[in-house]
Amino acid sequence: MTSDSDEAHKPSPIVVPTTFGTEITLAPGGTAEQTFTVDEDTLIDGIEVQAEGPAIVRIRIGGTAKPQTDRVADAQSFGAYLEQELPRHLARLVGENLENWGQRNLVLHQAAVAGDDDAFFELLARDPRQFGSELVLGRILTWRTWIDEYNRFFRLKLNRLFAEQRFIPIAREQMERAHRNLTRLGESQLRLYDQRGKRPLPPTAYVRGVYYATLCLLQGLRTLYREQENVGARPAQITAALSGFISELTQVHPTASAFLPWVQRAVYLLSDAELLARAGFNSATLSDLVGPKDATPSDTARALTAAAFEVSTDTVERLAAKPVAIPLESTQEEYVLLAGPLTYDLLEFPELKPLVDRLTR
């Protein structure tokens, strides 16, 4: 039984970013299980999976630890975490590798020691570990002393009668500077997280899912278009046939293909007039999108995905290249993801075979 007094004396929890993972070798079609024992509340985010082939990742939450499992929480002390792991997170936060991040911090530290306030606060934004350094503690104590000195000796009119007048403006300037800098001290920790005037990036997993699903859909439809064209079908007939195929595709219940639901969602991008216009495909018909033209399916997929998430096509290309797993249908007990190459052929999905056969026979 835990009393209120016990709760009051518990130390405040430390919340930090961390990473953990494992390397598993599987034969094609094989499975493996890995258990991580986590002693603290953990929010799982940014799941990256490097896989040579398609892989389903299932994350089950709960249960008891088994022998020979990886223990995450007590793998290292907090001090070791600050020295070994945190720098990698901080470097990644500003888009630098660890070596460049350290070199830049060294330059800022040297400038800060020489009295450069801007360098001092940039250093604190990049590496909050500096708060435990003599440099930062010395600056804080200096600023506090300047404020206290002015308030006690120069602010009161009577005290000014006994002070040398030339010191009064100097003390006032030091006090005002100290006020500004102590305010900036807290603001330095918000600097990298301030989203004012910025458009936050959409979740990488969803960008990847939409892009590769749209690419799969467009490539498959282009193949069907050409097959219809080769048998002499007219453009209007091809459009009608492909429209019917898409309509039936959205009604198919996925049974064997984990990525098929994403492809079904991608149909929305081809039917939303506002989104098509935003992507530069004003008044485009289905035949315009998938028929023979200069733009490749990957170009069109990038443009549609960029319009859907309101980002640039360069951003889509950059996010799509990351090895972030794509979420599949999950439950409260199990989080399911799809990893590995996403080079799926629309016409090879088992659930779509009857539709393809009817269209091509």
Q: Is the dihedral of CA 273, 275, 277, 281 positive or negative?
A: negative
pLDDT tens string 256-265:
898 999 999 9
Residue 119 has pLDDT above 60, yes or no: yes
Query: Residue 123: inside a domain, yes or no?
Result: yes
- Six-digit token pair at 336? 């399911």
Span of 22-26, 52-56, 74-78, 113-117 with lowest mean pLDDT:
74-78
- In the chain, the number of structural domains is 2
Which percentage of the chain shows pLDDT scores above 90?
40
Same domain for 114 and 221?
no
DSSP assigned state of 48: B
Same domain for 210 and 354?
yes
Same domain for 181 and 293?
no
Q: Which residues of 224-263 are buried (b: 16+ CB within 10 A; e: fewer)?
A: bbebbbeeeeeeeebbebbeebbeebeebebeebbbbbbb
Same domain for 221 and 180?
no
* Bridge partners, 37 (sequence order): 71
Which of 339, 152, 361 shows the shortest CA–CA distance to 241?
361
Query: Residue 233: inside a domain, yes or no?
Result: yes
Which percentage of the chain shows pLDDT scores above 70?
84
Same domain for 290 and 317?
yes
Q: Taking a C-beta distance cutoff of 8 angstroms, is the pair 232, 275 a contact?
A: no
Which of 199, 352, 323 shows the shortest CA–CA distance to 263?
352
Predicted confidence at residue 156, as pLDDT, reads 55
Higher pLDDT, 285 or 218: 218
**CB count, 10 Å around CB of 91?**
20
Mean pLDDT of the chain: 83
Residue 229 has pLDDT above 90, yes or no: no
Query: Residue 247: inside a domain, yes or no?
Result: yes
**Domain hosting residue 107, numbered range:** 97-193
pLDDT tens string 194-228:
766 667 789 999 999 999 999 999 999 999 998 88
Predicted confidence at residue 68, as pLDDT, reads 46
- Return d(Cα 127, Cα 146) in angstroms, integer: 26
Higher pLDDT, 290 or 106: 106
Residue 352 has pLDDT above 80, yes or no: yes
Same domain for 148 and 262?
no
Same domain for 171 and 229?
no
Predicted confidence at residue 164, as pLDDT, reads 57
Q: Where are the beta strands (DSSP E) in the chain?
A: 36-37, 55-60, 70-71, 326-327, 334-339
Predicted confidence at residue 102, as pLDDT, reads 95
- Mean pLDDT to the nearest integer, 18-26: 74
Same domain for 346 and 317?
yes
